[in-house]
A and B are shown apart, each in its own frame.
Chain A
Amino acid sequence: MAASTGMRMYDVIIVGAGPAGLCAALYSSRSRLSTLVLEKARPGGQASTTEWLENYPGFPKGVKGPELMEFFAAQAREFGAEIVKDEVVSVHFSPERKAVRTAKGGEYAAKTVVLCPGAEPRTLGLPGERELRGKGVSYCATCDGDFFTDLDIVVIGNGDAAVEEGMYLTRFVESATIIVVHDEGVLDATAIIRDRAFKNSKIKWIWNSVVDEICGDGIVKSVIIRNIKTNERTEFETNGVFIFVGTVPKTDFLRGAVEMDERGYVATNERMETSVDGVYCAGDARAKYLHQVITAAADGAIAAVAAEKYIHEEEGFREMVLEPASPVMVCFWSPASRESLDFMASVERIAEARAGALVLVKIDVYRNRRIAGRYGIKSLPTLAFFRGGQIVHKVEWPTTEEEVVAAAEKVVGRR
């Protein structure tokens, strides 16, 4: 690892420039945090390969995916976020320093990291699928649609993405046959999309069926379709196979670094905090209920605000409590705790009597939950004495001034 001296320390490094990463970059750069975004491709993520978004608010007639993402990137840059084209291949997190390494051999360090690696289309692992990718098998309608002008294709999948992309493809193709595992008329897609698709004369349907195999010699020629009710297998001639069966998070490079679920989605709480302090996750790679551009953007905003609070909380604590050479008496209190409010006058008297030898720092545990948690503060008030960055004595829930005086004398001696 390169020496930390001389390397620039960013406030926030954002991994990935899809909607989540760009929105995190907007919020963090607008809060005057130095912000670096690392993105392996062009900013925009999966939203850039979506021709048209009808459900992103603010655009009553809809908006093109790539255009919206250019707006996102421009707005983040407006406030000073730096977007660098490079792929993060590994991460190294320690409490003081989070470092990331890139495919081009770069290393960057920051106080906090927001992980927004996103997701990619899921593959099915069908015989022929891998061999014929780019030769008729596709996962991207906007990329490959015009190859299939006046040709016939099949679509695998029946959720919103599959049906919408199928409809998009009917601009080019002669026919798009959607192969659906459910009974006739039943789709996973939402009603508005389903009704539109049923009215589209270029869309054909094959019900109760799955694709077992994709066949071709250098180029797709047919698929083997199996009816799941009768188990009957039929060969169906086609020029292309578009597969839209959900996505998988791109989190392999994070294995072992942050907690994730069995499918590889990163676990966070509602503040987007991962299992590592100062590391956040936002967008499609996060385990959550709804993966959309709008929810990714919301995640990004929350993560950036949480990162900002983390930096202020940690830096404030370090400067006021951990770094001073002389002893520090920390009073953990909360406006919601009557006992801690009532006791504050005593605490202030004790500190005043030892001015020059003991510094008082008051920490509101509601604003500084992480620090309170780290030192195991359960009841309020709690007095904690620090010297040289270490906690040397703790008095939990004192009821008399004398208890605290005795503790202070242990730390700084009798006056």
Chain B
Amino acid sequence: MIQVDKVNFEEEVLQAEGPVLVDFWSPNCEPCMALLPDIEALEKKYGDRIKFCKLNVVGNRRLAISQKVLGLPTICIYKNGEKAAGLTGEEASAVGIEAMVREHV
């Protein structure tokens, strides 16, 4: 997974060609840590069709808020620089995220 932050978010996510998944997480967020291996497994499965990025909100709080993300875990899919879909909290389960990914590949 590509680590994105306030420096490269524009280039890696908003300017990217094709769909991009962004995992908003933080080391303080237990559910995020629990979800990480599931997302890595999804990258193995769908990584050739959708770009996988993760964004640690610690140090990138303003960026997250600018993306209207104020809760973790949040998993979003961007297309053509726009947020096309997103899941947060309990909705952001391995099964739920896979269904969202399938819709956008």
> In the complex, which residues 16-59 of chain A have their Cβ closer than 8 Å to any Cβ of chain B?
40-42, 44, 48-49
Contact assessment for B33 and A42 in the assembled complex, using a CB-CB cutoff below 8 Å? yes
Q: Is A218's CB within 8 Å of the partner chain B?
A: yes
With A and B bound together, what is the CA distance between A120 and B90 in angstroms? 9
Report B69 CB to chain A, min CB distance, Å.
7
Question: In whole angstroms, how far apart are the Cα atoms of A142 and B58 in the complex?
Answer: 13
Question: Any chain B CB within 8 A of the CB of A140?
Answer: yes
Q: Decide if A137 touches B37 in the complex (CB within 8 Å).
A: no
Q: Tell me if A138 and B71 are in contact (CB < 8 A).
A: yes
Q: Is A327 an interface residue (CB 8 A)?
A: no
Are B29 and A147 in touch, CB under 8 angstroms? no
Is A219 part of the contact surface with B, judged by Cβ < 8 Å?
yes
Q: Does B32 contact A (CB under 8 A)?
A: yes
Nearest CB of chain B from residue A174's CB, rounded to whole Å: 14
Q: Which residues of chain A come closer than 8 Å to B93, judged between CB atoms?
A: 40, 87
Decide: B31 and A219 in contact? CB cutoff 8 A: no
**At the interface, yes or no: B105 with Cβ under 8 Å from chain A?**
no
Question: CA of A143 to CA of B57 in the docked complex: distance in angstroms?
Answer: 11
Is B84 located at the chain interface by the 8 A CB criterion?
A: no
B34 touches A147 (CB 8 A): no
Q: Is the CB of A41 within 8 A of B35?
A: yes
B34 touches which one: A41, A133, A138, A144 (CB < 8 A)?
Answer: A41
- Specify the chain B residue showing the minimal Cβ separation from A50: B30
Contact A134 B30, beta carbon cutoff 8 Å: no
Partner of A146, one of B26, B34, B95: B26
Distance in angstroms between the alpha carbons of A138 and B89 in the assembled complex:
8
Q: Are A134 and B89 in contact (CB under 8 A)?
A: yes
| Beta-carbon contact of A42 and B72 below 8 Å | no
Query: Within 8 Å of chain A (Cβ to Cβ): is B28?
Result: yes
Q: Is the CB–CB distance between A146 and B28 below 8 Å?
A: yes
- Is B85 in contact with chain A by the CB < 8 A criterion? no
Which residues of the partner chain B approach A140 to less than 8 Å between Cβ atoms? 29, 31, 71-72, 89
CB of A14, distance to nearest CB on chain B (Å): 17
Question: Which residues from chain B contact A87 at a C-beta distance below 8 Å?
Answer: 93, 95
> B86: which A residues are within 8 A, CB to CB?
134
List the B side residues contacting A144 at CB < 8 Å.
Answer: 29, 70-72
Mark each residue of chain B from 61 to 86: 1 if its CB lies under 8 Å from any CB of chain A, else 0. 10011001111111000000000001
- State whether A85 touches B37 (Cβ < 8 A): yes
Most buried by B among A149, A219, A220: A219
Complex-state Cα separation, A367 to B31, whole angstroms: 43
Shortest Cβ distance from residue B73 to the other chain A in the assembled complex, whole angstroms: 8
- Is B71 a contact of A134 with CB atoms below 8 Å? yes
B89 engages A136 (CB within 8 Å): no
Q: Once the chains are docked, how many angstroms separate the CA of A144 from the CA of B29?
A: 8
Q: How far is the CA of A144 from the CA of B90 in the complex (A)?
A: 14
Contacts of B65 in A (CB 8 A): 147, 219
Tell me whether A135 is interfacial, beta carbon within 8 Å: yes
Inter-subunit contact A147/B28 (CB<8 Å): no
A320, CB-defined interface residue at 8 Å: no
Indicate if A300 sits at the interface (CB-CB under 8 A): no
Query: Is the Cβ of A218 less than 8 Å from the Cβ of B68?
Result: yes
Interface contact B88-A134, CB-CB below 8 Å: yes
Q: Say yes or no: B70 contacts A145, CB within 8 Å.
A: no
Q: In the complex, A373→B73 CA distance in Å?
A: 50
Known pairs A85-B37, A133-B89, A134-B89; A143 contacts B32 (CB<8 A): yes
With A103-B94, A134-B88, A139-B89 in contact, is A219–B28 under 8 Å at CB?
no
Are the C-beta atoms of A147 and B90 separated by less than 8 Å?
no
For the complex, give the distance between the alpha carbons of A356 and B31 in Å: 63
Contact mask for chain B residues 22-43; partner A; CB cutoff 8 A; 1 contact, 0 none: 0000101111111101000000
Contacts A143-B29, A143-B71 known; 17 new A-B pairs at CB < 8 A: A41-B30, A42-B33, A48-B30, A134-B70, A134-B74, A135-B71, A139-B89, A143-B26, A143-B31, A143-B73, A144-B29, A144-B71, A144-B72, A146-B61, A147-B57, A147-B71, A218-B68
- 8 interchain residue pairs of minimum CB distance: A134-B88, A134-B71, A41-B34, A42-B34, A143-B29, A48-B30, A143-B72, A218-B68
A positions within 8 Å CB-CB of B: 40-42, 44, 48-49, 66, 85, 87, 103, 120, 133-140, 142-149, 218-220, 239-240
